[in-house]
Chains A and B, each alone.
Chain A
Amino acid sequence: MFTVRVLQHSRNVCEHFLYSCSNRNYGKAIIVSKVVEISPTTRHEGHTKLVLKVNDDGIIERGDWLSLTPVRGIEKLAIGKSMHQVPKISSRVCGICPVAHTLAGIEAMEASICCEIPEDAYLLRVILQCANRLHSHALHNILTLPDMYLPGTDTHINPFTPEEPVRSVAKRIQKLREIGQTVGEIAGGEPIHPSNPRVGGMYKNITPRAKAKLYDLAKEASVLAREHMEFMITVLKDWENREAASVANGPEVEKNDKFGFHDQGYMAVDPLYGNSSLDVDQRWFPERWTEVRPWDWYMGEMEITMDDPDYPIGGTTPAGAKAWPQMEACTGVPLYDGVPVEVGPRARLAIFRNYDRKGAMGLQIARQMEYPDCLYSMIEAIDALDTSGSVLADEIPQGDGSLGWCANEAPRGTDVHLAKVKDGKVAWYSLLVPTTWNFPTCSRALEGAPWQLAEVIVRAYDPCVSCATHMLVVDESKKVVAQKLVQ
């Protein structure tokens, strides 16, 4: 007999259970689901695959989007190391948003040891945060544009073509990225894996000359970013209004009305920067977080029954092969109030700016709308920065082992780091990174869409998977984790 674990809060697993029953007992007469696998998915950071159950019309009934990136083990590496070293290690988890991981890690340490940082150090961190978001959003545009069409035509956009108008768009994107990285380089010491932030503030303040340079760069970028935002929103709305679409040079299929819609909630702690357990107004609650093993969440072993050798690039996995999502997934499934939530640009705008556009394009458009806010905040922070101010706390406590957390609004969503620091050493460390939150949510957003366009939905979440490979120790049941956290 077959066995599938049923989890109370997993609606999909229950459905899967029912599907399986009906398939086995009543054969093809009632429901015929085919299984198709897109592996690997492309044009995003990290390695993932899609295992999709589709009906006869090619509409996804259940989609499992799962990470294949091997587990990093950062949380275990951290134990016993000094609190200064650990955020530097955790930033190495990825090269696209190392700033978010550095800042979240450092502020989780600071929250655990109860260390307040000087105002100017905070401002430098805000500048760094904005710089990271600017470059990351621009980078994502390059990844997403090949799905889109030149408005009014049936021509996919190739961001690498030398032809106008795409060429100037590509140059603008690269200019925005260059500015983001240069600002990060000056404020953070390095654009990738910033060296300047430290527990207690920053190592160095910047010079007046560097401040002026940052200001010029931010001003230059704010003009470009506005133009770019308008271009991107036009392109994205054009895609949304099309009847049919294709992925790259794949076959064109009709879209559904509610492309990429889901009914999950949003989670965000700040429109721009973050929130930590040191803040008076706390907006993230560790006791509302629980985790589920992939075994309990994803589909069981199954045979792939449908393939498309023409699917770009290189076709889908051939029929007859096996897929076993619950064994292959490399992430835990974090839940907030017992359900998956969406994090990212739309969550921030929905919570703090009353944004209400749904679907995959709603998320994409929200991302573009963050450009101006990001640059205006950067300019404000540069203006407010006192280059002769101290950037290091006078006293850095060594910690008594109490729990501290920091939720940093990384480009892709809320990046929560939790830490316990005792006598300057890390006793416990956990990362809850944006794409981990988005995995189950996005899997639900796949339902109802034609499977050929599943990757468009995945890409809308700007997945950045390498940091999302986060595992629980198998023994730890949900209840134990929750109890530990409220201690």
Chain B
Amino acid sequence: MVLGNYKECVSARATDRSILARAQDGGIVTQLFAFALDEGIIDGAIVAGQGPEPWQPEPIVAMTKQELLDAQGTRYNICPNMALIKEATRSYGLDRVGVVGTPCQMQAVRKAQLYPVGMRYVGDKIALALGIFCMENFSYQGFEAMTEDFCNVKLESAVKMDIGKGKYSVYNSSGEVKQMPLKHTLKFVQPGCHVCLDYVANLADVSTGSVGSPDGWSTVFVRTKKGDDIWAKAMAAGCFETKPIEEVKPGLELVTKLATDKITKNQKHVDERATFGVKADGSAKALRNPYL
């Protein structure tokens, strides 16, 4: 079960042109949050806004469609969305919060709901949790080195980044595409990612990512009852055009392959950690296993 439980899997993209114009792929997250905001399913959503440095994300609470549009696109470095989840229910005064995040952040959302230590009255206010596929993430400094030193594009002049087909690609303002092989980015991966055994955000209500669908489309897993309910409403409202996942190339096969690769590789790392440390007498010592 490398893809987790899901009720439905489709390839989809938003029908709203203004969302598609700047979307990373199919504009799924933006469109779904915009729909949920309109319908009153959520009062606001925690998304990755613009941080103090170029291409550095910072969590913000978006309460209008315009704020969602401003936060569109993927920036390949860390955005601690969970840091705002409590504040969203406090000084922002939200009763129904939407949150988007990577698989690890979805784990944090569910953990906050199950064991609400320091999260009083937060869990029941999480109305929609959207997960995005994630192989690994980079620190801002690593991301800066990849873009500026390997791809030779100043962050200020980059207009889009993309990872796919074994390459990290940066599009600059003069229309050029600079690329580097993905295997060279490995040393910039932040260490916590090496123990992660989740590729497709198994714990989200709806999870989405580009892998498996053609360019400009996204693969969507509808996982929970809540997610199914909202997805069905959005479909009925004509927010998305979809294709069956079986009919698109490369399809679920690639998603499964990448998920299996990630889990196999990281499971190996988790296992290595069992004997990685050194005790005072020189014998092996286990480092913490996050899954025990």
Contact = CB atoms under 8 A, between A and B. Distances in A.
B37 to A, nearest CB: 12
Given A187-B91, A204-B87, A209-B94, 17 more contacts: A185-B89, A186-B91, A186-B93, A189-B91, A190-B120, A192-B120, A205-B91, A206-B91, A206-B93, A207-B91, A209-B43, A209-B63, A209-B92, A209-B93, A210-B90, A211-B93, A212-B93
B121 interface: yes
Contacts of B89: 185
Contacts, number: 39
Interface residues of A, number: 18
Contact of A214 (B43, B44, B87, B93): B93
Contacts of A210: 90-93
Contact of B92 (A187, A192, A207, A214): A207
A233 to B, nearest CB: 32
Contacts of B43: 209
Contact of B93 (A191, A192, A196, A207): A207
A181 to B, nearest CB: 9
15 contacts: A185-B89, A186-B90, A186-B93, A187-B91, A189-B87, A192-B120, A204-B87, A204-B91, A206-B91, A209-B43, A209-B44, A209-B92, A210-B91, A210-B93, A213-B93
A190 B89 CA distance: 10
Nearest to A205: B91
B112 to A, nearest CB: 15
A211 B93 CA distance: 8
A196 B91 contact: yes
Nearest to A194: B90
Interface in A456-481: none
Given A209-B43, A213-B93, A214-B93, A185 B121 contact: yes
Interface in B75-126: 87, 89-94, 120-121
Interface in B4-30: none
Q: Kindly name the residue among B44, B89, B93, B121 whose own CB sees the greatest number of chain A CB atoms within 10 A.
A: B93
B67 to A, nearest CB: 12
Nearest to B95: A213
A189 B90 contact: yes
Contacts of A209: 43-44, 63, 92-94
Contacts of A191: 120
Contacts of B44: 209
Contacts of A196: 90-91
A98 to B, nearest CB: 13
Nearest to A184: B90
Contacts of A211: 93
Q: Kindly name the residue among B89, B91, B93 whose own CB sees the greatest number of chain A CB atoms within 10 A.
A: B91
A207 to B, nearest CB: 5
A110 to B, nearest CB: 21
Nearest to B63: A209
A250 B101 CA distance: 60
Interface string A192-234: 1000100000001111011111100000000000000000000
A202 B93 CA distance: 16
Contacts of B120: 190-192
Nearest to A181: B121
Contacts of B91: 186-187, 189, 196, 204-207, 210
CB-CB nearest 7 A-B residue pairs: A210-B93, A213-B93, A206-B91, A204-B91, A209-B93, A207-B92, A189-B90
A212 B93 CA distance: 9
Contacts of A212: 93
A185 B89 CA distance: 8
A7 B220 CA distance: 80
A186 B89 CA distance: 7
Nearest to A209: B93
A60 to B, nearest CB: 43
Interface string A54-87: 0000000000000000000000000000000000
Interface in A290-328: none
A390 to B, nearest CB: 14
Contacts of A192: 120
Nearest to A193: B120
Nearest to B93: A210
Given A190-B120, A209-B43, A209-B63, A185 B92 contact: no
A305 B125 CA distance: 57
Given A190-B120, A209-B43, A185 B63 contact: no
Q: Kindly name the residue among A190, A192, A211 whose own CB sees the greatest number of chain B CB atoms within 10 A.
A: A190
A213 B121 CA distance: 16
